[in-house]
Amino acid sequence: MPRDVGVTEDHPRFLRNLISQVRFRGMLIPMASALLDTPVAIRPRATDVRSAAAVLEGAPAEDVVAWAVDRFGEGLVLASSFQDCVLLDVALGVAPALQVVFLDTQYHFPETLEYMDRVRRRYDMDLRIVRPRVGPDERWRFDLDGCCAVRKVEPLDRALSGRSAWMSGLRRADSEGRADTAVVGIDERRDLVKVNPLAGWTDADVERYMVEHDLPVHPLASRGFASIGCWPCTRAVTPGENARAGRWEGTEKTECGLHV
């Protein structure tokens, strides 16, 4: 994972302020940073967000979370797929009251639901489970984009209604299509700020963090499932394959629509 950022004279003064005031894990201390100078309820200018992204690039994930919580407060929500719980551990260590959203598509593997329940008990989190407005069907057989739209995209839109920003576990190492993921960016479609504290983490960073913090592992991980979504559209990958090669096999689809 990115190395811990020490406070040195090489950092801009307002970044030194930010880093020095979020050093204590589990304690959110007011920060002096003013990276975004517009009110939380107003969409920040793209230039402000780019400035925040540049300053926070390479900072510890805890510092990115602390900045987002300080900046957006209750306007911030974390969306988790419960493929693992690394971001949850980082974020809830900084802000235990942060709301977590899980999209129950009705097609998750039973192992994912079991893992979610295990993780929920571990952190006693404020978990909101959002379900689609349609019942189970076989749309995934002939309309993948439409299936994702009603089971993922629309439910997330509802979950983010009235919010100012959301946090995800996107990483540049996930796939070529995510190689330019910013630590802080703008979700143009929803007109929200999007925060990706783990953007610069490698697979090795994730594995190391999980071991060092004794985190529970998704049951399917040991069976070759490197990227875990809905069971009709997810398979295990073979050694050497990209982690997301097991999603929507045989199609050109690479994203469900939540992050585009």
Report CA-CA distances (Å) from 175 to 112, 152, 170, 180, 210: 22, 20, 10, 10, 21
- 205-to-15, 153, 224 alpha-carbon distances in Å: 24, 29, 19
Q: What one-character-per-residue DSSP string does 158-204 give?
A: HHHTT-SEEE----GGG-GGGTT--SEEEETTTTEEEE-TTTT--HH
Structure-block tokens of residue 191: 């007109």
What's the gap between Cα 74 and its chain centre?
17
Active site residue 148: no
Assigned token pair, 190:
């929803």
Among candidate residues 85, 230, 233, 256, the one labeled active-site is 256
Type of residue found at 256: C
Residues marked active site are found at 256
